[in-house]
Structure 1
Amino acid sequence: MPESTHSATQSFSHSTQPRFAIIVAGGTGTRMGADRPKQFLELLGEPVLLHTLRRFADPAVEVQQCVVVLPADQFETWQQLCADFAVTIPHAVVAGGESRWASVRNGLAFLASEQAGIVAVHDGVRPLVSAEVINTTYTAAAEHGAAIAAVPVKDSVRGLAQQGSYALDRSRLRLVQTPQCFELTLLRRAYQLPELPTFTDDASVVEDLHPIRMVPGDYRNLKITTPEDLIVAEALLRAR
């Protein structure tokens, strides 16, 4: 596969490009205090991960290939859940790595035969993402090369200092969500570089190669991390 030569100032095509999605689900459920990984917890009677997969299988977002990245020892559990819930959504399952970075890289490797397109990376435990947010992020990435969903900070924010703390201007801060969408060859280039401790998401992997465009996220697009998040997610789903 030839390496992309996109520069930070290059314009990306506005034409329709194939869409791919890598759904990363590597959680263990430790902070949930649960007996199973959080992606397999039930949300209104169905696994969290199934809700998430269904969002990207929505015909309104026109994703051509969904890749679910799971720890290898969770394959059998997911296969059984798919049977129990009669899941017919086409998707590939790929083994994750020791870190989120390695898991995304493995998901990208599955798409090695694809020559071009836009790829979204999404947390498997963000089951409430809307078609509008997904489409907006894909569209912005098709135009600008890299785009992420984010929301303004509601609370006052302070930074830690050696002698106490200091106020930060929250108007200049955003809470980053997923999906994070990228031109496929750009994301491949980024993941050819060595992993660094500063890589907390895909935008941080890409940002040295290309500017990151932010688009409006949704406060309802929460990441299920603690038991309280599950309660809120159920309430939001019931309200739809």
Structure 2
Amino acid sequence: MCMTTDVVVVAAGRGLRAGAGVPKQLRAVGGKPLLRRTVECFSADPRIRRIRVVIHQNDEAACTEALAGLPGEIAFCTGGETRQASVKAGLEAIAGDAPDLVLIHDAARPFLTAELVGRAIEAAASHGAAVPALTLTDTVKAHAGNGTLSAGPDREGLRRVQTPQAFRFPLILAAHRALHRSDLTDDAAVAEAAGHPVFAFSGEAANVKITTAEDFVDAERQIALTLADVRSATGYDVHAFGAGDHVMLGGIAIPHIAGLAGHSDADVVLHALTDAVLGTLGDGDIGSHFPPSDPQWKGASSDRFLAHAIALLRARGGIVAHLDSTVVCEAPKIGPHREAMRARIAEIAGIPPSRVSVKATTSERLGFTGRREGIAALATATVRLPWCDE
């Protein structure tokens, strides 16, 4: 008999210990929101019927944006004050069309694999309640109030427990409904409190929970190790001066005695960066994606072009390592606007400003830029992609 399996992803916490001033599940890691990295493993799995993401009431717009475009049936519900309350809210949200099995997973564990999901489904079907677990490799000591250590429990009898925790749906729903305690830290404890034995299946060491700022640093390293195909490509663009009182450079309007002539907003920096990113993918140039003959791009903001190229990169599983640009002109002066340009480019690309460089030079009054007839820009994009021999 084929058993239906739904997933409840718990993403209602504030998670501000990780820094950045936003809930950790909405913070980017490897160029993607943490929540998206977590959910996409489930959404791509044909064994999963539906995904219910339990969120904070203030986060629906941000979570919708974070998960945009993922396949599968994904819906939201509002969580509670505690993790237990949030899980119960998720279970109640799917109770009307109850699955046979349910996997309950923390949004802050983005490195689960399809193999782990498969083991979770099999364990729930076989045992009713099961959790992924790892043996302890470090010695465990008891800590006294005066700061000293003493002999602790035998680590052979201990396990580190992870998510997704897996259950027959009626079992865990009834357990949560019957629960009148708030001191239990996971759903295995809820099942145990209701009298159900909980079995262990093999977890994965890489399936870590991201909690602190240091965890995000480690997560970036872990993602980088999986993206072994490092590519660089260049871009170049030029536009002549025309009518206007400002030029668009790097997504920033800079006052000037003239504008730049072009079919879009003629932002040479964003155009060059777009070509550089497309070049890393071997995917043509800006003109092939946004033909100047197409009237819909007349006067268009060039941030759309760079965002499109970045989206293509991410669709291939890649991330931006660095974006570098050089503006060639006699005027206007770029220095006063450099940091604003870096910040805007970083915003469009979804990367930290530290991964963006903006430089400027003149052509020593030589050529068309030296004659103040226009502006040129050169760009280099460095990206990381999953290794592929094709």
TM-score bracket for the superposition, by shorter chain length: 0.7 to 0.9
Per the normalisation by structure 2, the TM-score is 0.54
Q: Could you tell me how far 1:48 is from its partner in structure 2?
A: 0.4
Unaligned residue ranges in structure 2 (runs of 5+): 227-390
Corresponding residue for residue 152 of structure 2: 167
SS in 1 for 2:22: coil
1:111 to 1:154, Cα distance in 2 relative to 1, 3 A: same
SS in 2 for 1:73: coil
Rounded to whole Å, the distance in 2 between the matches of 1:87 and 1:192 is: 31
Which shows bigger deviation, 136-145 or 107-116? 107-116
Rounded to whole Å, the distance in 1 between the matches of 2:79 and 2:137 is: 34
Q: Could you tell me how far 1:115 is from its partner in structure 2?
A: 4.2
Q: Deviations over 1:28-87 (max 9, x none)?
A: 232112210000110111100000000111235x1001000001111122223345xx44
Aligned residue runs from structure 1 range 108-187, under 5 A: 108-161=91-144, 164=148, 165-187=150-172
Q: Say which one has the larger Rg.
A: 2
Rounded to whole Å, the distance in 2 between the matches of 1:94 and 1:22 is: 10
Rounded to whole Å, the distance in 1 between the matches of 2:166 and 2:179 is: 20
1:44 paired residue among 26, 30, 39: 30
Rounded to whole Å, the distance in 1 between the matches of 2:180 and 2:25 is: 25
Contact kept, 8 Å, 2:179 with 2:190, in 1: the verdict is no
Per the normalisation by structure 1, the TM-score is 0.87
Q: Deviations over 1:125-179 (max 9, x none)?
A: 1000111111101101101101100111121111245685332211111111000
Q: Deviations over 1:91-130 (max 9, x none)?
A: 0101000100000110011111234411000000100011
SS in 2 for 1:129: coil
Unaligned residue ranges in structure 1 (runs of 5+): 1-14
SS in 2 for 1:178: coil
Which shows bigger deviation, 197-206 or 51-60? 51-60
Q: Could you tell me how far 1:184 is from its partner in structure 2?
A: 0.4
Rounded to whole Å, the distance in 1 between the matches of 2:98 and 2:83 is: 24
Aligned residue runs from structure 1 range 6-25, under 5 A: 15-25=1-11
Contact kept, 8 Å, 1:58 with 1:131, in 2: the verdict is no
Structure ranking higher on relative contact order (CA contacts 8 Å, 6+ apart)? 1
Corresponding residue for residue 4 of structure 1: none
| Paired residues, number | 223
Rounded to whole Å, the distance in 1 between the matches of 2:34 and 2:61 is: 16
Rounded to whole Å, the distance in 2 between the matches of 1:149 and 1:195 is: 25
1:68 to 1:153, Cα distance in 2 relative to 1, 3 A: same
Contact kept, 8 Å, 2:77 with 2:93, in 1: the verdict is yes
Q: Could you tell me how far 1:237 is from its partner in structure 2?
A: 2.2
Aligned residue runs from structure 1 range 1-240, under 5 A: 15-59=1-45, 62-83=47-68, 86-161=69-144, 164=148, 165-208=150-193, 209-240=195-226
SS in 2 for 1:147: strand
Corresponding residue for residue 257 of structure 2: none
Contact kept, 8 Å, 2:45 with 2:114, in 1: the verdict is no
SS in 2 for 1:31: helix
Aligned AA (1:134): V
Q: Could you tell me how far 1:90 is from its partner in structure 2?
A: 2.9
Rounded to whole Å, the distance in 1 between the matches of 2:216 and 2:135 is: 22
Rounded to whole Å, the distance in 2 between the matches of 1:115 and 1:176 is: 26
Q: Could you tell me how far 1:192 is from its partner in structure 2?
A: 1.2
Rounded to whole Å, the distance in 1 between the matches of 2:206 and 2:39 is: 17
Aligned AA (1:230): F
SS in 2 for 1:155: coil
1:115 to 1:45, Cα distance in 2 relative to 1, 3 A: closer
